[in-house]
Amino acid sequence: MIALLLRDLRLAIRAGGGFGLGLAFFLIVVVLVPFGVGPDTELLSRIAPGILWVASLLAALLSLDRIFALDYEDGSLALLATSPLPLEGVAMVKAAAHWITTGLPLTLAAPALGFLLSLTPEAYPYLLLSLLIGTPALSMIGTFGAALTVGLRRGGLLLSLLVLPLYVPTLIFGAEAIRRGAEGLDPTGALMLMAGITAGSFALLPFATASVLRINLR
């Protein structure tokens, strides 16, 4: 499984578009918002948590369709399915690789972008924490969506339609945690619920992903 993780990371680095694209997209979306709503810092700092989270969702979405599509096209997925690796493990590794190439860079870049949106200083720890806890769920749910659409040509749009509604709980609790942090309230509840979503998706979705892959490989 480690071999698969290393291969996927190496491919993401070599092929480009792994680390860079999602991050650049995140940056652009966040930078565009002040242009759109005007330079009112009070308004910006109020909508910053939501903007940062929505932008992370979209950036995570961008690279989802590559998770299985490339392996499906060149036949490696069928070969992996007959290898000693359980498909559940493959699904989990794929989600982990996606998180390392997308979720982790987003989390690390978010504070700099929070500054652009004049996010209140008290909110920064919760921005980092909520993204750190929440983005793995985005990757795992996205991996499941990618497995659902793996055999389809132009499955990318369908994938977005399937996956975005599933992202709603993470978005709500993620933005809520930052907002509460910014207002000096206790964000523990929101963070715990989000951690629950992440843990739940990693516990259940690898199995769902694997069975969907088995059907799509027929």
Q: By the criterion CB under 8 A, which residues form the site for another protein? A: 2-4, 7, 10-11, 14-15, 71, 73-76, 78-85, 217-218
Q: How far is the CB of 167 from another protein (least distance, A)?
A: 27
CB nearer to another protein: give 32 or 78: 78
Q: Which two tokens stand for residue 147?
A: 């497995």
Q: How far is the CB of 200 from another protein (least distance, A)?
A: 28
Q: How far is the CB of 217 from another protein (least distance, A)?
A: 6
CB nearer to another protein: give 11 or 158: 11
Phi/psi class of residue 17: alpha, beta or left (left: φ > 0; alpha: ψ in -120 to 50)? Answer: left
Q: How far is the CB of 90 from another protein (least distance, A)?
A: 10
Nearest to 162 by CA among 196, 200, 212: 212
Q: How far is the CB of 205 from another protein (least distance, A)?
A: 22
CB nearer to another protein: give 83 or 188: 83
CB nearer to another protein: give 14 or 154: 14
CB nearer to another protein: give 77 or 194: 77
CB pairs under 8 A, 24+ apart, for 24-32? Answer: 25/58, 25/59, 25/62, 26/55, 26/56, 26/58, 26/59, 26/106, 26/109, 26/113, 27/109, 27/113, 29/54, 29/55, 29/58, 29/59, 30/55, 30/113, 30/116, 30/117, 31/113, 31/116
